[in-house]
Each structure stands twice: as structure tokens, then as C-alpha cells.
Structure 1
């Protein structure tokens, strides 16, 4: 996926979940952040970000990438569905209602929910970076579908390639993490896809697996 017309800026202050005060060559302006996560390792005063100008009646700038350890990671969750579609059949249906809930995709009898991950600890990708009641509800909905005979998937888009495995973030959301380990892979199939931004393109780097117990302990020890 190509990104054009990106402008380098710096974070001044995160005003709320979706608004960030930024500095572009000495001018301070407000920018939209389309990600409700905490993103403490990305959105903090002084950190370098990449933004683009947007049209409309809202904020003039939208944050796309943030610098993490010398590499830029995508922090615009509004693009996740577009990225996920690259890995799904053409006739996949989006924004599917399941009772009172909504899942990202459906293809025939397959239901797919997409999550984006930017957090990593010593080579271990982790999700979520903030408590997510909605994420837990998605897992429960996928579990119900699996028990009814459908195929359920979670597609984790990991926006960095300096990771070797994935594990749910118990420290931040134990309820989500317990449910995740309870149903993956017994009821819910998972794919953990990594990506790298080269300055122009966000490129697919490959798929990783769940961390073993040893990998998890080693990562948290460091």
C-alpha cells in the first residue's frame, strides 16, 4: 500500500483519544488520530510522526505513522480494513451484523475480525495496549459462531517487523487475554501478519505464530 504526500511533524500533546496537538515546521495545529489505543510508545511529546492533509470540515491533518525505535509504524486504524481486504477473497462482505454485534468481514461461512497491533516488548508483539471491552465482545461473538458450526478467524495486523511471535497483553487487559487463550486455537483460528513501512509503501513482511511459554517468559524478563 502506497502513502503519498506525508509530512513529518512532532507530537506536542495528546489532547484526547482522537486529537493530538502537533508541530509542523514551527506551526502548532491539531491533528486527528484514528486509533483509540493508548499508544504510549508512539504518541508522546517530542516524538516524530508522519501526517497527511485531509479535506472536510474536521481537523486538517490526520496522523498516519509514528516513530518507534527508529522505524515508523502505522497508527491509523481506519486503514486496517483496506489492508485486510488484500488477504481476503474479492466477494468478502464487510461490516457484518451478527445479532446486535458487528464483525469486520464475512466470506460464505467464515467470519473474520481484524485487530491492529503496534505494541511490542523485546520482540514479542502484544495486544491490546488499552482495555478493550469491545474486543472481548468480538471474541465472544466469534466463539458463539464457532460453536454454531461456522469458521471464526481473528486477523491481527502487526504494524512492525521487529517481532518474532505474538501474545495477548495480560498486564493491560486480563479479561480479553484469558478469553483469547481459551478459544485460540481450539475454536478461533488466528493469523498474525507483520508489516514494514519503507518511507513510501507499507509492505507485508510475513506471518508469525503465538509465542511459546519460554518465548513469553524470556521477553518479559529482559
Structure 2
């Protein structure tokens, strides 16, 4: 996936989860943060961040904060909309005969429904932006919704679907994602239950650029 127009700025602060203040060429700009997670280990005063300029003149904010340079690591994409776009591109490179985003199953909306021959598939997608010692962790904040989705996948498996939980790794040099049990122990329990039930755990590795995010085969 690609961004149309990107530029660098310096992060100042984040008054709430929706907006941040950045220094853009000496001017303080209020920008929209495209990630409602905490990102506290990334959004540190003075770090270089990547903005995407919007062409929507009716918006309150002209820019979206989409990525951040982590010291001694590199660029991490934190756009929460990016994982589903990358996952769709990844799925389209496979031999599925039908792909439908946002499929309602049970009491949840699962990110993707696919078909191949006479088999039916469901895939839920999570984006990983949290890294420690070269390993990815999810979530960076408690996610009851994420736990709910896992148990919906387990039920779908019991109903005959082929099911996957895909982690789109929004950084380079990280090959796996583990449950962040320190932040949300229940998510770790749900992952264990999913593996026992036969849910396929997929890691979609990426190359990260200031103007795009690409999956790696």
C-alpha cells in the first residue's frame, strides 16, 4: 500500500489518543494519529515522525501521523488502517477465488472471508507495532474486542471454516509476534486456546518506507 504525499516532522506531545502536536518546519501543527493504541514507547518527544498530507479541505487536521522512527531500530508504521490493506494485497497474491472484506460472522465482523474450490476461510487481521529485543508483541493496550474475535474464530473452526489470525508486522527485522501477557493476560490465554483449536497463526512480514508499506513473501 502507498501514501500519496508524505513528509517528516518532529513529535512534541499527544494530548489524547486521537491527536498529536508536531514541529513541522518550525511550525506547531495539530495532526490526527492513525492509531488509538498507546504507542508510548514510540511517540517520544523529539523523535522523527512521518505525516501524510490530506487533500480533504474540510478536515480539522491537515495531516495524519502514520509512522515513527524508533531509536536504534528504524521506521515503524503505526497506521491502524494499513494492516488490512496490506493483508488484502497479500491475500490477492494467493489462489483464492473469492475475497470479501468485513464479513459478519456470529456477533463479530471478521476482516476477511475467502473461498477456494468448495472450502470457506475466515481471517482476522491485527497490526503489530510493539517490539522488544527483536520480537513483536500484541496488543500494546488491553483489547477485549481482540479476545472476542479470537473466540469467534474458534467457533468458526468448529463450524467447518478454515480460520487464520494474521499479524501484519509493521516494521522490519521482526519475524514473529507473541501475546503481550504483561499488558493483557487474557489475550495470551485466548491465543493458547486458538492454537489448541486449530486456528492458523500467520505472520505477514513487511518492508517499511516513509511512503508505503509492503508485505514480504
| Secondary structure of residue in 1 paired with 2:153 | helix
**Per the alignment, do residues 28 and 90 of structure 1 end up closer, same or farther by CA in structure 2, a change over 3 Å counting?**
farther
* Aligned twin of 1:40: 40
Task: Write out aligned runs for 1:49-198 (5 A).
Answer: 49-54=49-54, 55=56, 56-69=58-71, 70-88=73-91, 89=96, 91-108=98-115, 109-184=120-195, 186-198=197-209
Shift of 1:176: 0.8
CA distance in 1: counterparts of 2:9 and 2:28, whole angstroms? 10
Shift of 1:86: 1.0
The structure showing larger relative contact order (alpha-carbon pairs under 8 Å, at least 6 residues apart) is: 2
- Moved beyond 4 Å, runs of 4+: none
| Secondary structure of residue in 2 paired with 1:143 | helix
Q: Which runs of 5+ in 2 are unaligned?
A: none
CA distance in 2: counterparts of 1:100 and 1:181, whole angstroms? 22
CA RMSD of the aligned region, Å?
Answer: 1.7
Contact 2:151–2:194 (8 Å) recurs in 1: no
| Bigger shift: residues 73-82 or 125-134 | 73-82
CA deviation vs aligned residue, 1:55-81 (integer Å, no higher than 9, x gap): 142321101111113411111111222
| Secondary structure of residue in 2 paired with 1:35 | coil
* Aligned twin of 1:17: 17
CA distance in 2: counterparts of 1:100 and 1:85, whole angstroms? 22
Q: Which runs of 5+ in 1 are unaligned?
A: 207-222
* Aligned twin of 1:28: 28
TM-score by length of 2: 0.88
Shift of 1:198: 3.8
CA distance in 2: counterparts of 1:150 and 1:37, whole angstroms? 30
